[in-house]
Structures are given as structure tokens and as C-alpha cells.
């Protein structure tokens, strides 16, 4: 998974809103190492410009879909496929808002980068990038101009959900603020295909994840920062400014935490799997009521490189229904409810195992842990087979969601008629293939809180915190900050706690104690 960008809008609106988030150029960066030994890196965020519609020209395939970015890359990476070890997926470049400046070489060559806790490599465009149009729009590293450059030459390639880069490794000094990390291995990108990189205002990525997911097993910059004794403590922390009226985007602090950035104390949870900053998360609540979906535990990742908050489509649909978000109706889902809804209720009332119900009604097979698509036993026509296979997958998935929703409503002692109507309505709230769900800007005050249980504590998000607003007045557009992401067991269900969450909660990444801490942002 690694650099996990999420594509969240459909064609037109998707491209429009995504581009707005990165449409203004990064201004000056403030960083210093004061007497307290902390390195503070100022982050800038880009204010949306509702009049800028340049990105509307992007073709739909230029953005990719959320599911197309996950299936080929993310799942292989999580399952530990050795041949896919360098595959990284899941983030949408155009949704990343927070940027900083670094320098590479002697004398220093400046680059704008995303500080990303969801990946582990540093890469910037190379002066040897001749054929990719994107390279002409960004600063390029020139090894011949640096007296501290060391030739490496090992090839490198990274596939993201919304594009790919390839090139080769080099070594040079990297400056972050006033700190100089010596002999850092990084990627010189010689190929950046696609329009995504051309439209983005950043030059490269600085990964802050673990070496376990580093392409080419390169030692991450953060490791070298600690190893070379450049920071006071093996800790870094993010404060993302939630005030849209202020120019300051936030601050990334290396070596500790800045007390003025948070209130109270941090709630800590251990890193459950090195690679991403992954931890265990408990139940998700809507309006204070448990959904029960993560009652048995879910995995979550604290990810500074993702704008939205992503989770299993089943729960995201429940959230979007509760906040009045309108997605694209799923005919497969509604067909399941119409044909099997009452049977699902009957089986649940006789205490059948929810995990086995979809196989009992014939839409899935049970693999011992969950329902999976039955597949196609006979195929007459190849094109018909592909269509049938897609439909079978959709029906199985729709059934599993319907079971979860039905079970949740029955536990709240709702009437059977009310349950069926509720589940049918949820079918209309399933996010679009691009993940986008719009809401009425005038109804924010009536929307419920959405909460997440972490370390035994409940962390709330209010409507003003989970709704993204573009523009002002009657022309304003609002979208849900929640998007669907389905990762099957044993790695899933998986949640990506992106900037929507990290704006509300100051996040500390404790490398020394392998834990993540959350506290209310100040």
C-alpha cells in the first residue's frame, strides 16, 4: 500500500475538487532548531479556488478509481507477495494538501515535498528525466551540480494508485530545516507518466514510514536522522491547522512535540505491524451509537498523505446515510434486498452466523472466515463470463453489506419493515465508484458526530470537521470526508486515518517506543 492516495471524486466534480486542493503555489517555509532541540518544519496548505477549473479537462481514466488503485497494488503488498514488494498504492496525489520544503546536495537544491507517513522513500525529479512532460513543470535534481553526490545507480520503480514513477537511486546530503542528513539514499525519478504528476504542485515525496515498506530496502531519511544524532528524541509529530482562514497550514516537529499544538494528554496505542504506522482500532459510532462493525477490532493507519478518512464501504455507507450524503444507487444492492432481505432477517432471528448467511442464500461461498464470490462454474462466452463474474462479485459484496446493516438494526429492536426500508435506503448511499458523496451544505448543523474508539477512548469528529467545503455562499459545494476502502481479512478491515482525522487530533509518531499518540489539537 505505502503511499496511499485516495481518488474520491467522480469525473468532472472529482477532478475539479481534487485540483483545487493543490492549485496554489507553495509560499515560504519557516523552520528552525531552537534551544529546546526541536526541529519545526512549517507546512503550507492550499486554499481551494472555486473559480479554477483547469483540472476539469482531465480525462476520467487520468484520475483512476479507488478500486482500480487498490486491487492491483494494495492487496498484493499487504499479503507479502515477494514479487510485489516494491508496489505501493492507495493515495490520490491531488487530494494531499500539506507541503514543506527540503534541499538536496551541496550547494542546496530546493524541492517541495509531501511529508508522508504512508510511505518510506524519498524521491524527486531528476535532471535526466527527458521524456516525461511532468518533469518540465517541477524542480529537478542535478547530480553534476552537487559536490556531495555519490553515484548509486540501482534501478527503482514505484506504482501508485494514481500514477507511477521510475528511475534510479542516488546518494547525497539532504537538508530539512537546519538539519543536514548525510549520505541519504533517494530516488531520482526519470519517468513520471500521466497527467497526475504534471498537475500536482509538489516536486516529490518524503516518506516517514518504516523501512519494511521501503522500495529497494532504502534506509528512510527519518532513520538516518535518528542514527546521525540529529534529533533530541526518536519522535516526530504533526499539527495540521484546522482553521481555514489562517495562512499557516500546520507544523511537522522532528525530535518531540510542541506543547502549544495540543490539549491534555496523548492516548497511545502500540504499532501492531511495522511498515505503516498501523494500530488497533475499536468500534465506530454514529451519533453516539455503536455500529458494531469493529467491535471485534479493526486495523487502522495514521496517514499524513491522505486527505480523507477511508474505511470499509459497509460502514462508510452507514455514515453517509446518517449525514445525508447521496452516492450512486447500486442496483445489485437493491436487488439483494428485494429478493433476499426477508430471508436474511429470518436467518439472523434464528441466530445464524452473520458471516455464513450470504453463502446460505447462495450468493457467496464461505471460506472459513468470510463469504467470497462463488465465481463462474461454466462460461459460454468470454465477454459474458467477465460480465457474469463482475455481477457475481457485486451481489456477494452487496449481500455481505446488507447482512451487517440488517444485524445492526435488529440489535436496535427495529421492526422488520423498518429494517428492510433502512437497508434499501442504504443501497442508495453506497459511494460512487470514485468514492465521492455530496452533502447539503445547509444541513451541517443537523448531522451527527462520527466517532472512533482508539486505545479505549472515543475520538469524535463533528460535521464541520468531516465535511470538506469548497467555495462560499450559494455556490459552495460540500463533500463527505469519508470514502470507501475494502481490504479483506486477515489484513482488513482497514481504516486510513487521513488529514480529516489528523486535523482534529494532534498525532505523535513515537519511533523509539513503536507507538502512535493522539491528543486534541490546540
∠ CA 18-21-22, nearest 5°, is 105
Residue 460, SS3 per DSSP: strand
Query: What's the distance, CA 395 to chain centroid?
Result: 26
The backbone region for 255, taken as left when phi is positive above 0, alpha when psi lies in -120 to 50, beta otherwise, is left
Is 367 noted as a catalytic residue in this protein? no
Separation between Cα atoms, residue 278 and residue 509, nearest integer Å: 11
Separation between Cα atoms, residue 146 and residue 189, nearest integer Å: 17
Catalytic residue among 116, 172, 203, 510: 116
- Three-state SS for 187-203 is EEEEECCCHHHHHCCCC
- Three-state SS for 110-158 is EEEEEEECCCCCEEEEECCCCCCHHHHHCCCECHHHCCCCEEEEEEEEE
Separation between Cα atoms, residue 411 and residue 185, nearest integer Å: 54
The C-alpha cell of 134 is what?
511532468
The answer to whether 500 touches 461, Cβ cutoff 8 Å, is: yes
Distance set, CA 382 to CA 232, 241, 267, 378 (Å):
62, 53, 54, 10
Is 95 noted as a catalytic residue in this protein? no
Residue 160, SS3 per DSSP: strand
Q: Which of 139, 218, 217 is nearest to 184 (CA)?
A: 218
The C-alpha cell of 371 is what?
463469504
Q: Which of 1, 162, 121, 76 is nearest to 494 (CA)?
A: 1
The C-alpha cell of 21 is what?
486542493
- Sign (positive or negative) of CA dihedral 373, 379, 385, 388: negative
∠ CA 175-176-179, nearest 5°, is 75
- Sign (positive or negative) of CA dihedral 469, 470, 473, 478: negative
User: Exposed, middle or buried: residue 391 (CB in 10 Å: 0-12, 13-18, 19+)?
Assistant: middle
Residue 475 backbone phi and psi in degrees, to 5: -90, 0
Catalytic residue among 172, 203, 303, 499: 303
Separation between Cα atoms, residue 83 and residue 75, nearest integer Å: 13
The answer to whether 4 touches 74, Cβ cutoff 8 Å, is: yes
State the catalytic residues. Answer: 116, 303
Amino acid at each position: 500500500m505505502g503511499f496511499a492516495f485516495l481518488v474520491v471524486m467522480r469525473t468532472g466534480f472529482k477532478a475539479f475538487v481534487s485540483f483545487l486542493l493543490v492549485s496554489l503555489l507553495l509560499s515560504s517555509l519557516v523552520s528552525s532548531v531552537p534551544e529546546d532541540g526541536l526541529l519545526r518544519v512549517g507546512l503550507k496548505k492550499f486554499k481551494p479556488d472555486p473559480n479554477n477549473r483547469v483540472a476539469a479537462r482531465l480525462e476520467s481514466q487520468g484520475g483512476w478509481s479507488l478500486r482500480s488503485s487498490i486491487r492491483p497494488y494494495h492487496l498484493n503488498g499487504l499479503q507479502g507477495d515477494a514479487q510485489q514488494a516494491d508496489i505501493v498504492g492507495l493515495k490520490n496525489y491531488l487530494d494531499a494538501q500539506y507541503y514543506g520544503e527540503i534541499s538536496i546536495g551541496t550547494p542546496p537544491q530546493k524541492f517541495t515535498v509531501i511529508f508522508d507517513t504512508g510511505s518510506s522513500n524519498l524521491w524527486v525529479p531528476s535532471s535526466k528525466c527527458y521524456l516525461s512532460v511532468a518533469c518540465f513543470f517541477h524542480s529537478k535534481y542535478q547530480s553534476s551540480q552537487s559536490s556531495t553526490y555519490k553515484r548509486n545507480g540501482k534501478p527503482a520503480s514505484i506504482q501508485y494508485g494514481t500514477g507511477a514513477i521510475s528511475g534510479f537511486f542516488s546518494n547525497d546530503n539532504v537538508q530539512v530545516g537546519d538539519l543536514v542528513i548525510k549520505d541519504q539514499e533517494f530516488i531520482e525519478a526519470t519517468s513520471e507518466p500521466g497527467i497526475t504528476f504534471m498537475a500536482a504542485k509538489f516536486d516529490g515525496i518524503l516518506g516517514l514510514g518504516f523501512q519494511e515498506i521501503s522500495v529497494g530496502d532504502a534506509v528512510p531519511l527519518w532513520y538516518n536522522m535518528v542514527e546521525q544524532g540529529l534529533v533530541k528524541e526518536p519522535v516526530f509529530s504533526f499539527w495540521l491547522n484546522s482553521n481555514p482562514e489562517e495562512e499557516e497550514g500546520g507544523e511537522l516537529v522532528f525530535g518531540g512535540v510542541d506543547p502549544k499544538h495540543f490539549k491534555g494528554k496523548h492516548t497511545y496505542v502500540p504499532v501492531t505491524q511495522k511498515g505503516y504506522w498501523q494500530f488497533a482500532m475499536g468500534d465506530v459510532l454514529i451519533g453516539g451509537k455503536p455500529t458494531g462493525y469493529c467491535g471485534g477490532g479493526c486495523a487502522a493507519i495514521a496517514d499524513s498523505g491522505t486527505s480523507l478518512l477511508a474505511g470499509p464501504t459497509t460502514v462508510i455507507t452507514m455514515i453517509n446515510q446518517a449525514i445525508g450524503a447521496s452516492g450512486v444507487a447500486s442496483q445489485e444492492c437493491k436487488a439483494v434486498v428485494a429478493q433476499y432481505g426477508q430471508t436474511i432477517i429470518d436467518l439472523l432471528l434464528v441466530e445464524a452466523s452473520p458471516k455464513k448467511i450470504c453463502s446460505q442464500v447462495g450468493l457467496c461461498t464461505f471460506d472459513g472466515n468470510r463469504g467470497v464470490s462463488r465465481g463462474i462454474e461454466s462460461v459460454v462466452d468470454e465477454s459474458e463470463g467477465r460480465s457474469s463474474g463482475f455481477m457475481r462479485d457485486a451481489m456477494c459484496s452487496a449481500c455481505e453489506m446488507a447482512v451487517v446493516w440488517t444485524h445492526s438494526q435488529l440489535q436496535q429492536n427495529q421492526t422488520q419493515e423498518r429494517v428492510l426500508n433502512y437497508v434499501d435506503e442504504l443501497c442508495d448511499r453506497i459511494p460512487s465508484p470514485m468514492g465521492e458523496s455530496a452533502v447539503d451544505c445547509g444541513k451541517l448543523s443537523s448531522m451527527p458526530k462520527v466517532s472512533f474508539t482508539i486505545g479505549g477512548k472515543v475520538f469524535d469528529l463533528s460535521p464541520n470537521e468531516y465535511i470538506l467545503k469548497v467555495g462560499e455562499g450559494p455556490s459552495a459545494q460540500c463533500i463527505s470526508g469519508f470514502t470507501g476502502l475494502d481490504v479483506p481479512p486477515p489484513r482488513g478491515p482497514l481504516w486510513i486515518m487521513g488529514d480529516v482525522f489528523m486535523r482534529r487530533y494532534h498525532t505523535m509518531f513515537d519511533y523509539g517506543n513503536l507507538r502512535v499518540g493522539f491528543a486534541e489539537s490546540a
